[in-house]
Every structure is written in structure tokens, then in C-alpha cells.
Structure 1
Amino acid sequence: MRLPGRISAAIEVLSEIETRHRPASEALKDWGLSHRFAGSGDRAAIGDIVYDALRKRASIAWRMGSETPRALALGAVVYGWGEDPKKLNQLFSDDRHAPDFLSESECERLESISLQEAPDMVRADAPEWAAEALTSRFGEAFAEEGAALAERPPLDLRVNTLKAGRDKVAGQLARLGAEKTRFSPIGLRLAATAGARRQVNVTAEEAYRRGRVEVQDEASQLVALMAATAKQEVAGAGGQVLDFCAGGGGKTLAFSAALENRGQVFAFDADRQRLAPIYERLKRAGARNVQVRQPGEGTLADLEGRMDLVLVDAPCSGSGTWRRRPDAKWRMRPEALAERAAEQDLILAEAARYVRPGGLLAYVTCSLFTEENGERIAAFRAAHADFSPLDPAPLWRAVTGAEPPRWAAADSITLTPASTDTDGFFLAVLSRAG
């Protein structure tokens, strides 16, 4: 397929997403299954158009004067990929799979309308309700933060120090363009590029198959390293760690490596299906100090009041990862925040039972909303007077060797695409009185 056919396909997928309110990943998968002639490169390029259109839906719609699937797809390849509207029409004339020719009005908008006069909400590429939530967190910087959330994300890898050092793995992946991450001392990054991207299948690389790297955003690496550093200060090199919402085990694996296979890491998740991938990942990583606890009555009873560190990577809106799942920000509704907040309060209260006196409770979300972050910590502390927050600045310096980023506070730290060039993550570490 050539670019015109790929644009037509992207319009078709965007129409499916809009009319049936489907996740983009599902709509793209179904399109591929029903169009077997499309190669892997075609499917990847179509996905790039779809996701770029969704990332910048608000700003494209404002510039185009329309938010139809056609307007979004054309805006993605012109505004984002740098395609020339007039050349597109030439390409369309030579391709029977092309969409209709660009109209004079479309060409004029594609060539001349900029975002200089656009409202902040448009420049932030956020729904109105989310713009309000971001403003309450970032003030006048919300448009900058929102716009950064609408850019393409890089692909970050965490080097598994149980098996290799970062320099060695960087050399093995140099041909892919892997560079060392800015802050994480164990991270590698494949930078985002514009246009139809070159396909990189990291899982096919020897370094991945041998367990030397895992896919993990730099921010996720950093919050795990900061929590592990805080744990070391209260329990030394080993100790007992409970990953209370372990999911597929990304942070469990990071803790196992940070503890150098010493001590004990317990991985638990209330959702058995989310926990399922962890076993193969543990085997590949060579993690021997991890014990997986399946959900069930009394599963964690023997751990109450014994843990040096309990990590709560709480289910959340995922707003900090909108670069990777841009359709989520248009599907989500504000009332979902209240539902998530209630769930987060329950999880925090349950997790606190396992922290020993003098131990730590680390609360993490991949959200940028105060309702899911600072407000949850405030509510927890109001009900648990024996927990007090740690200053994250020393932890950040110990892990990164750099000064704390823009959104660091005395009791928590927030990482964002605009401030740290990572996904959006929140971390608060609380100490239980001895």
C-alpha cells in the first residue's frame, strides 16, 4: 500500500472508533484481520496515522474546522508528518485506493491555519473536563503539559542488572538507535520519530529473549528505583517487599533486580488475569527472590505488619500514559475519577495493614490528576495518623544524580512528558511510625 491507501484505511478505522466507541487497538486489529493483503508495514503506518490523529484530535479539529475521521487523518499526515497538501492530491490521482481529492477549503486550512490563536484547551489537546483537571494541577502550565501528552512517546527499556550491565546491552542494541536514558541509570531509549516509523520488534531481540531488558517507561523505572532506595535506608540491601498491585510484574521485576535477588519480593494482584504474565517474565529475568501470591481469602494473612515496603501501583485513569493510549482520553468521563478515587482509598487502606512499624508505604499512579494523587494521600493520612510522608528530593538525587524536576514537592513527586520527557507518574512514600 502507498500513502493514499493508508490514509483511506486510517479514515475507515477512525470511523469505526467513532461510531462504535471502540478502543483503537481493537479497531486496528480487526481492520488488519479483514484486510489480509496489508503487510505489517502497512498496518503499522495506518496505526501511526490513527494514533497521531487521536493524540492531536482537538488541535487538528480546530485547524481543520471539523473533527470528522477524514479531517483528523488528513491533519495527522500534514500537520504531524509534514506532507504537502498539493502533493497529496497528486498522489491521490494515481492511486485507486485513495480517498477523495482534497477540496480547495481543505487545502487552504491545511496550508494556512496555525495554533497561534487557539485556546489553551485546544493547544493542550484535551477534553474540556480534563483541561480543568490539568489546570487545577499545573496552573498556567497546563497547556504545555497537555501538549506534551499529545506527542509520540519513545520506547524505553529497563536493563535487567541481574543479567547484564547497561553499557553491554546498549552496545547490543546500538543498531536500533538505543541511547541511555537521561535520568534512569538502568534505562535505554529508542527515540520517537515522525511519519511512518521504522518497525522495531524488541521482543525478537536476543537481549530481550535472554532477559537482559524489559519494556518499561523511564518514569516507571524511576519510581521503582526511588521506592527501592527508600526501602534500603530502613532495611538494608535485602528486606521484605510487597508489590500489592503487581499486574504483569514490571515493578516486581525492577525490585528483584534492585535487591540483587536478595530478600523477598511478594507479587500480588486482586485480578488473577493481570497477574498471569508474571511467571514467564520472572523465569526469563532470572528473578529468584520473588514469590507470587494468587488472589484468595487469607492469601496475604502471614504478611500483615511484616513488610519493610509495600508498593501500591494503584489502578487509575492512566492520564499520564495518554501519549501511548490517546483514545482513552476521549473515551473517559469525569465521573470515572470519583469511582477510581474510591477504589484507590480502599486499596491504600488495605495495603497499609502489611507495613511493619518503621516500614514504608509507596503510592504510585500513572495519573496526573490531583483527585487520584495528592487528594488520595491527604485522605489516607487523615485516617492513618501513624503514616507521614518522606521528602522525595533525596531519593531522586540518590537515583539520578540530578536536581529534582519541576513538579517535585515536599511530600511527593510528579513526572511528566513536559518536565522529564517521561510518561506521567506520581509517587509518594510514607513512613509508618515505629
Structure 2
Amino acid sequence: MKLHRNLVDALIEGLSFIFNDGQYADKVVEKQLKKDKRWGARDRAFIAETMYDIVRWKRLYAEIAEVHSPYNVHKLRRLFAVWATLKGISLPDWGNYFEDTPLRRIKGRFDELSKTRKLRESVPDWLDDLGAAELGETLWTNELHALNQLAPVVLRVNTLKTNKERLQIFLKQEGYDSFPLHNYPDALQLAERGNVFKTQAFNDGLFEVQDASSQKVAPFMLIDSSVKRVIDTCAGAGGKTLHLATLMQNKGQIIAMDIYEQKLQELKRRARRNNIYNVETKLIDPKQLKRMQGTADRVLIDAPCSGLGVLRRNPDAKWKLRPEFLDEIHATQQEILQQYSKLLKKGGKLVYATCSILPSENQKQVAAFLASEAGKDFKLEAEEIILAHQSGYDGFYMARLSL
């Protein structure tokens, strides 16, 4: 593989935005890819994939390169040199671009440092300690390794417009091979990663990109003909909301709520593309919540969380998370459960879900709620713990409570 300086420069600049300025990796990648319109698909893939790779393995590469924060250009070039050397890519002679890179020591250092889990899997000390304490050493080791693998691209077929077989044909015509997933009724996985957002099938609203684990949440709510009103309390941009709408076949009413207007606008845009008409968006307002008490047949609480289950697609979260955030999020999760459970009518069902793998955000939150005054009339019907190393997809948790 031949390295091109303008691509490496764009990559180094992007890493500086992420590591030094605290910007989100996905936004930085998006911005860097727009720097030169002449770049082809291979150039753009190189920048995006390499940037995510170095973000994912930052701690390990930094230890090998013997560099520490803050990361100036020289240090970032050393990080890149470690990545390239470990991939078997020869460093070009660009003057002093890669000066003082410990080329001969890189592979030896990699082998030595890889004996220690927190370095091998590239996580902060506190996160490694927490994961081991909550999941146990063996489970945490396996899960952490799985969360460092590249996530496959999984699509959810919009069954209001097409089916899996037809969508496979449409995608094949546009150059994308895919295959159905066993036990995921609406899922297709791409045989190779690719930018399906540019396909005609996507523009026509025939599918959404949604991880297989996330696709389990809407069916877990047991939507049937008796369900007339669903409230999605933390809808965000609406991946699960749209799935619920297809299960309800555009009938009944879904109220999608969030504290961010921008996310709800994105949900409206997606709903239009999907030909979904039974979704009403609402900004969360305490007065409105009071009026809606006891009105929902189903309530979904897709709670804010640490996001540890989705580290494969958001590797920079490892470096942004702080121990104190977890304390805050535990309080928020319980507060949301206590508050939004009041929206459910007698005989209804509530689903609490997170994209976390930590019992403190999952089983323990549900147990605390059931033991509280607000949760005393609820019963735990079912729960599912999805671990990435067992499923091959995101780590997830969901619990269904009945009233």
C-alpha cells in the first residue's frame, strides 16, 4: 500500500481535533472527508477507517510510540507510524515527517504490552477495573475484545414498503451484496462495509441502518392489535420509533419525545422518507407529562447510558467517559424510570432498554425501581442481556415490565 501525504495530513489533523479538542470522531471524519472533492472512494475509506482504528487503539499505540497527551503534530505522526508499521505498511521518505519513530522496537513493544488487558484492549485503567468488577474477569475480557472489533453494517427493512428478498435484489443492482440474519426478522447484513446512504433504495425509504441488537427492542414490546398508543420517551433521531411504526403498520399513535428539538426534526425527516404517518413528536415538558399520565398502552424508555455496548461504532467514547458521569447517569436512569412509568395505563407494558453492558445501569436499575414506591405495582415479565462477544452485535439490555 502506498501512502499519500495529503491523505495522511488530513488524517493527522482529524486526530488532533478528536484527541486535543474533544470533538466527536464521527463528526470529525465527516468534516475531513469534505476537504478534497477529488478524493475517490478508496481515499475516503482510508481516512475514515484509519482514523477510527487509531482512536480505537489510542492507548496501546501511544504506549508503543512513547507519547502522551497533549498530542502535537509530531506525536500524532508517531501514532500513525505505529499503526502503519503494525499493518505492514512501509513509511515513505518524506524528509523529517516521521523522524524519531522507533521502527525497530514497535513490534517487540506491541508483543510485550499486549500481555496486559488494559493495554492490549486499549482502555483507561478505571474502565478496565469497573468492567472486571461488574462482569467478572473472564466475561469482561471476552466482551472488551468483542467491543474492539469493527461493527458490521446491518440494515432494517422497512416492511411498509418492501420485504427482505426484494431489498436484497435492489441492493445487488446497486453493487451491494447482503444476507438475512437468523432470528432477526427484518435484518439484512452487508457482505462488505459500504456507504449505503447514497443508494436509491435508501433515498426511497426501503431501509434504515440499525444494528441487529437494537432491532430486538421494538418486537420485545409485544405490539399487537390492542396497542393504540405508544410513548417513546427518549426517542432521539427515532431508529426504534420507526421500527415500532412498521410493527403497528402505520396504525394507532406513537408519541416520540426527546429533550432535543434537532433530533426530533431528524426523526420527522426519516419518517417522511419511510412513509410513516402515525408518529407525533413532542419536546419533553413537565406539564405535558402530567397530562399524559396513564394514557399509554406501551412505554419505551431507551434510557441515556454509558454507551459501553456500542464502543465498536463509537470508540472515542472510551476516552470521553468519566467515572463521575456514571454516578450521574445512574441517578438520571432511576429518575426517568420513576417519572415516565407514570405514563403507562393499567394493563400496559413498559420496556426499559440501554446500550450498556453494565449491571449497574441495567438489572440493578430495574430492581431498584421495582423496590420503590413508584414501581411497587409493576412486575418484571422478561429481560434480555445481549453481550457483543456472544451475539456478534452491539451490547444491549432490555427489560419488560407489566402494570
- TM-score normalized with structure 1 length: 0.82
Cα distance 1:13–1:150, how it changes in 2: closer, same or farther (>3 A)? same
Q: Which amino acid aligns with 1:385?
A: K
**Structure 1 residue 120: deviation in Å?**
2.2
Alpha-carbon distance, 1:61 to partner: 4.0
Q: Quote the Cα distance in structure 1 between the aligned partners of 2:107 and 2:310.
A: 28
Matched, 1:83 2:52: no
Map residues 26-425 of structure 1 onto 2, 5 A cutoff.
26-29=27-30, 31=32, 41-63=42-64, 66=67, 68-79=75-86, 82-84=87-89, 88-89=90-91, 92-93=92-93, 99-100=97-98, 103=101, 105-110=102-107, 113-114=110-111, 118-139=115-136, 140-174=138-172, 175-191=175-191, 200-227=194-221, 229=222, 231-232=223-224, 236=225, 238-383=227-372, 384-391=375-382, 412-425=383-396
**One-letter identity of the residue aligned with 1:380:** F
The amino acid that maps onto 1:268 is: M
CA distance in structure 1 between the partners assigned to 2:16 and 2:200 by the alignment: 39
Tell me the residue number matched to 1:408: none
The Cα offsets for residues 275-315 of structure 1, whole Å up to 9 and x where unpaired, read as 11121211221223222233335334443212121000111
* SS of the residue 1:125 aligns to: coil
Secondary structure in 1 matching 2:287: coil
**What is the CA–CA distance in structure 2 between the aligned matches of 1:179 and 1:242, rounded to whole Å?**
32
For 2:71, the equivalent position in structure 1 comes to none
User: Counterpart amino acid of 1:337?
Assistant: L
Q: Kindly indicate whether the alpha-carbon contact (under 8 Å) linking 1:15 and 1:69 is maintained by their aligned counterparts in 2.
A: yes
> Deviations for 1:148-167, whole angstroms, at most 9, x for unmatched residues?
11111111111011111111
- Counterpart-to-counterpart distance in 1, 2:34 and 2:292: 47
- What secondary structure does 1:310 align onto? strand
Conserved? CA contact 1:63–1:115, under 8 Å: no
Counterpart contact for 1:153–1:192, Cα < 8 Å: no
1:28–1:210 CA distance, 2 compared to 1 (3 A): closer
Residue 72 of structure 2 aligns with which residue? Answer: none
Query: In the TM superposition, what is the alpha-carbon distance from 1:357 to its structure 2 partner?
Result: 1.4
- Distance apart, 1:42 and its partner CA: 2.9
Q: What letter corresponds to residue 83 of structure 2 in structure 1?
A: A
Q: Which runs of 5+ in 2 are unaligned?
A: 69-74
How many aligned residue pairs are there? 391
For the structure 1 residues 190 and 33, does the alpha-carbon distance in structure 2 shift closer, same or farther, using more than 3 Å as the test? closer
Deviations for 1:386-407, whole angstroms, at most 9, x for unmatched residues? Answer: 112113xxxxxxxxxxxxxxxx
Q: Is 1:49–1:77's contact at 8 Å kept on the other side of the alignment?
A: no
The residue type paired with residue 278 of structure 1 is: L
Q: By how many angstroms is 1:222 displaced?
A: 1.1
Q: Distance in 2 between matches of 1:346 and 1:160?
A: 34
Amino acid in structure 2 at the alignment position of 1:333: R
Contact 1:63/1:114 (8 A) holds in 2: no
Is the CA contact (8 Å cut-off) linking 2:370 and 2:376 kept in structure 1? yes
In the other structure, the counterpart of 1:409 is none
Q: Deviations over 1:168-200 (max 9, x none)?
A: 10121133122223431101112566xxxxxx3
Structure 1 CA distance for aligned equivalents of residues 288 and 2 of structure 2 = 55
> How far apart are the structure 2 equivalents of 1:264 and 1:280?
18
1-side partners of 2:97 and 2:390: how far apart?
39
DSSP-derived class of the 1:315 partner:
coil
The one-letter amino acid paired with 1:388 is K
> 2: CA distance between counterparts of 1:416 and 1:76?
28
Partner of 2:402: 431
Q: Which residue of 2 aligns with 1:405?
A: none
Aligned 8 A contact 1:121 1:143 in 2: no
- Residues 232 and 241, structure 2, Cα contact 8 Å, conserved in 1: yes
- Please state whether the residue corresponding to 2:20 is helix, strand or coil: helix
**Aligned partner of 1:70: which letter?**
R
Change (3 A) 1:36 1:206: closer
CA gap 1:218/1:305 in 2 versus in 1, 3 angstroms? same
Query: Match for 2:391: what amino acid?
Result: T
1:224-254 deviation line (CA, Å, top 9, x unaligned): 2222x2x43xxx4543211111111111110
- Deviation of 1:327 (Å): 1.1
Q: Is the 8 A contact 1:124 1:131 kept in 2?
A: no
Normalising by structure 2, what TM-score? 0.87
Which segments of 5 or more consecutive residues in structure 1 lack a partner in the other structure? 194-199, 392-411
Conservation of the 8 A alpha-carbon contact between 2:113 and 2:119:
no
**Alpha-carbon deviation of 1:146?**
0.7
Is this contact kept in 1: 2:227–2:297, CA < 8 A?
Answer: no
Equivalent residue number for residue 21 of structure 1: 22
Quote the RMSD (CA, aligned, Å). Answer: 2.7
Shift of 1:335: 0.5
After superposition, the Cα gap between the structure-2 partners of 1:75 and 1:418, relative to the gap in structure 1 and judged at 3 Å, is farther
Counterpart CA distance in 1 for 2:333 and 2:38 is: 45
The 1-side partners of 2:285 and 2:241 are apart by 20
Shift of 1:352: 0.5
Structure 1 residues 16, 238: closer, same or farther in 2, change over 3 A? closer
Kindly tell me: are residues 7 and 115 of structure 1, through their superposed partners in 2, closer, same or farther at Cα, counting changes over 3 Å? farther
| Greater Cα shift, 135-144 or 332-341 | 135-144
| Secondary structure at 1:293 match in 2 | strand
Distance in 1 of aligned mates of 2:107 and 2:14: 22
In 2, Cα distance between equivalents of 1:252 and 1:32: 30
Identical-pair percentage: 31
